[in-house]
Amino acid sequence: MSFFHALFENPFLLMALAAGFAASFASGIIGSFVVVKRIVAMSGSIAHSVLGGMGICLWLRRTYDLDFLIPLHGALAAGLLSALLMGWIHLKYREREDTVIAAIWATGMSIGVIFIALTPGYNVELLNFLFGNILWVSHSDIALLLSLDIVIATFVAIFYRKFLAICFDEEQARLQKVSVHTLYLLLLCLVAIAVVLLIQVVGAILVITMLAIPAAIAGAFTHTLARMMFIATLLGALFTLLGIYLSYELNWPPGATISLVAALCYSLSLVRKKSVR
């Protein structure tokens, strides 16, 4: 009970839970599209390319005293840019997705490393974004996370049926006069937003765990995308709660603990699936 008692005395834990639940909403919805569309690797490339935007943003802040800039702004800009670039190259030049993924992944990371080296002082902010530090989220971070959640929910509500069409049968979608290319780019942008949300929780390195695993587990319990999103959101919130609880009791890093809980639950789901067969 010490953990639940600490929730009412330690505002950092409450803020961490709020951030985790906000991120779970995004991971449940967008992660379902990512798993069904099979673009998990592409999401990983977006997650690592945001390092470039964070590095540039922090360099500008430290070098020119632009205090209004925070690494999250750079992460969002870099994530959207890499998503659009990745989708445009794939659609226009018909490049293999794995080649595009590797190129953007390497470019974003390289730019980030360069600007980190140029930035004066100890770059603890970037370390938090890389490895996750959910205990240090602020009220402004929570407000931004909720705003991004609203953006995701709005676009998915408007384009749900069309997203459903391009995820399961692009050719049929084209026959129905659906703008497949535009919706594909929009979906990648929403993935980028979800990635930025999850970076707040588990960091860029572990972001794919929370984006893909809850949806992958949820897919074993239903064949309906809407239900898959709902179950994945609940699972993401559960993993967050369990991860923060264990990190508090064991003094482990919360982001990595949340990711480990998700991975262990996924392993158990595979065992269950095998035993059912």
**pTM of this prediction exceeds 0.85:** yes
Q: What is the pLDDT of residue 93?
A: 75
- Write down the mean pLDDT value for the chain: 86
The pLDDT tens digits of the residues spanning 107-159 come to 988 998 898 888 887 566 666 777 777 877 888 878 888 998 999 999 999 99
Structure tokens at 119: 């930035």
Any idea what the CATH number is for the domain that residue 112 is in? 1.10.3470.10
Q: What is the pLDDT of residue 265?
A: 94
Q: What is the pLDDT of residue 102?
A: 85
Return the higher-pLDDT residue of 238 and 11: 238
User: How big is the chain by its Cα radius of gyration, in Å?
Assistant: 19
Domain carrying residue 32: 2-276
Q: Is the dihedral of CA 223, 226, 232, 237 positive or negative?
A: negative
- pLDDT category at 171 given cuts 50, 70, 90 is confident
Q: Are 151 and 221 in contact (CB under 8 A)?
A: no
Structure tokens at 254: 């919360």
Amino acid at 108: G
DSSP secondary-structure letter at 179? -
Return the higher-pLDDT residue of 96 and 122: 96
Q: What is the pLDDT of residue 25?
A: 93
Q: Are 152 and 194 in contact (CB under 8 A)?
A: yes
C-alpha torsion angle, residues 145, 133, 194, 19 (rounded to 10): -40
Q: What is the pLDDT of residue 233?
A: 96
Q: What is the pLDDT of residue 253?
A: 87
The pLDDT tens digits of the residues spanning 31-60 come to 999 999 988 888 888 888 888 998 898 889
Structure tokens at 42: 């592409």
Residue 223: burial class (beta carbons within 10 Å; 0-12, 13-18, 19+): exposed
With a CB cutoff of 8 Å and minimum separation 6, the contacts of 39 are: 97, 188, 191
Domain count, the chain: 1
Q: Is pLDDT of 1 > 60?
A: no
Structure tokens at 114: 């360069």
